[in-house]
Amino acid sequence: MKHDRTTTIIIAAFVLLVVLGKLLPQWAMFIMTVAFARGLVVLGLLLLLRAGLVSFGQALFYCIGAYAAGGLGRFFGISDIFLEMLVGGALAGVTAFVLGFLLARYRGIFFGLLSLALSMILYGLLVKTEALGSTDGFNILPSTLFGWRPDAEWVRYAVLVSAAAVAAFAAMLVHRYLQTPLGRLAPAIKDNEIRVEYMGASARRAVHVKYVIAATLAGIGGALAATAVGHIDPEMAYWTTSGEFIFIAILAGTGNVVAPFVGAALYGAIHTMAYDLSPNTWQMSLGIALLALIVFLPEGVWSLTGKFRARHS
Amino acid sequence: MKIVNVTHGSFYAIGAYAAASLTGAWLSRGYPPMLSYAVMVAAAILVAAPFALFIERVVLRPLYARDEVVILLVTYALFLVLEDTIKLIWGVNPYYIAQPYALLGSFQVAGMAYPTYNLVLVAVALLFGGGLAWLLHGTRAGKLLLAVIHDPEVSRAMGVNVGRYYMATFALGSLIAALAGAFTAPTVSVVPGLGVDVIVLSFAVVVIGGLGSLPGAAIGAAMVGVVRSLSVHYMPQVELFVIYFIMAVVLAVRPRGLFSLAEPRKI
């Protein structure tokens, strides 16, 4: 078995970011924080994708996380980043635990469409809820860290480092999970579910667990995005947001837990560049990029590392 | 065809834009307004057909062998592209053509005026539904198509031109979507984002009815329509929510929709 360097890479990348992060311009810090938030959601999506499930409704948990973070500030005056992420993730996880009893029975297109419907239910509810700002959403309190309020020029950096820490921690946990028997069941469920059942494992339970983990990660990502952007609105639960996450997952590939974050950063770059080059047709650029990826790099950008390694060994 | 097609919404929008712009031009030249219906239909078909053929031939054909979910993503990518293409061609300003709508007048039902156009629309929809059912189950081509969908490989071995059936089906489906857009154009203002709204709604409809089932789609559409109007009337705050709620409930009870056939599990 080849030596696994994933954990080392994650820790090295985190240390590098903490050291060099302060040198980044403010806008780059912001883009990277959002990339970490999206990466967390996609990390959860990766778990589901490995089991052959495409959730077109991760936006549901993303939005729950964001609104949990927003609600903490609005109703309790709490603006601590870690508390927001904790509550956002927990709320999303509990929701997924309940919905999981329903969703774990579905596969393929039906899983995707049902999860889409669930996220659209939340969208429909939020749009009509005046107390939560309806379509406009509302603003989030400036972030604090364990009761400490960083100066204006340090806020972005503090948020970025917190995001990176949480992302690194989550990535390592998921990496460990993928090596447990339950985690290794995923490709088997994708290939042939009935044989999984013959082996004595419960595919439904495995899917349920993955769904809850994915939702928790999405909730944390949502809370993170909320405090980074400083504003939330129902658009976060709309199905195109879920489409964005799936785009990143396809872009990244499901080969490694680091891939989602690389994918999210790349997506941020493509998105920003497309917007910069052609503000009116950025969707078209994204669509063409997605098409090209599906045709030429079906395993995602991450598969390039494997090809590279194969050539050099 | 076992394709969940997000691009369908774009064809709806293309049909609506083509009909609105060309019919508008037709009427402003002072040509006979009664013929504007023919212009609407022709515009939708002529503009949408090249898009449909191009997409099927060039983009989808090489990817049929891939997973259903991958195809869904491909159509999502195409949807993004078409959405901007529409903006490039027709701009972002809304189009209005109310004339075909007003032309047919209205009639009285229980003291309320009801536009005749809507009634005609219902008749046209029923006609299309019946026509499609006849095409699928009553003609040789339709039965062959069902066979192709069931097992493309065996059909090919039997000498059926599978590629041509795929193309015809995709084109027909897209043209019907374009026509639907064209017929709806006079009743709404044609604005960007038209396709997004309609595609999620139609997903709800087909999922409620059962994917691939014609009567299912009809009943699903009726359910969604009625429930939506009821909720707009009685509880406007739940309008959007209620459709997806129904979809979730239907799926919870009948996992494959109301009118779906049992599918064998592969071992």
Closest Cα in chain B, distance from residue A92 (Å):
19
Q: Does B242 touch chain A (CB under 8 A)?
A: yes
* B114 secondary structure, DSSP code: E
Q: Does B237 touch chain A (CB under 8 A)?
A: yes
Contact criterion met (CB < 8 Å) for B81 and A284: yes
Query: If you measure CA to CA, which chain A residue comes closest to B61?
Result: A295
Strand duo A231-232 + A138-139: pairing: antiparallel
List of long-range contacts for B132-138, beta carbons under 8 Å, 24+ apart? B132/B176, B132/B214, B133/B214, B133/B215, B136/B214
pLDDT for B260? 66
Task: State the Rg of chain B over Cα.
Answer: 20
Query: If you measure CA to CA, which chain A residue comes closest to B267?
Result: A194
Judged by average pLDDT, the poorest of A2-16, A72-86, B174-188 is A2-16
Question: Residue B265 — very low, low, confident or very high, per pLDDT cuts 50/70/90?
Answer: low
**Count of H helices and E strands in chain A?**
13, 2
User: If DSSP codes are grouped into helix, strand and coil, which group holds residue A144?
Assistant: strand
Q: Does B77 touch chain A (CB under 8 A)?
A: yes
Per-residue CA distances from B170 to A246, B3, B50, B145 (Å): 25, 9, 12, 12
The whole-angstrom separation of Cα B49 and Cα B31 is 25
Judged by average pLDDT, the poorest of A296-300, B34-38, B100-104 is B100-104
With tokens 């960083």, the residue in question is A150
For the segment A123-169, what is each residue's pLDDT rounded down to a tens digit? 888 887 777 777 777 777 777 776 677 776 777 788 888 888 888 88
With 70 as the cut, is the pLDDT of residue A293 above it? yes
Q: Does A286 touch chain B (CB under 8 A)?
A: yes
DSSP A281-304: SHHHHHHHHHHHHHHH-TT-TTHH
pLDDT for B2? 65
Query: If you measure CA to CA, which chain B residue comes closest to A299?
Result: B70
Closest Cα in chain B, distance from residue A210 (Å):
19
With 50 as the cut, is the pLDDT of residue A1 above it? no
**Mean pLDDT in chain A?**
82
Q: Does A135 touch chain B (CB under 8 A)?
A: no
Give mean pLDDT, residues B88-96.
76
Q: Does A273 touch chain B (CB under 8 A)?
A: no
Query: If you measure CA to CA, which chain B residue comes closest to A195?
Result: B267
Residue of B67, B71, B76, B250 to mutate, interface with A, max A Cβ within 10 Å: B76
Contact criterion met (CB < 8 Å) for A118 and B244: yes
Judged by average pLDDT, the poorest of A88-92, B84-88, B100-104, B226-230 is B100-104
Percent of chain A with pLDDT over 90: 7
The whole-angstrom separation of Cα B144 and Cα B136 is 9
SS3 content of chain B, % helix, strand, coil (to 5): 75, 5, 20
ipTM at complex level: 0.73
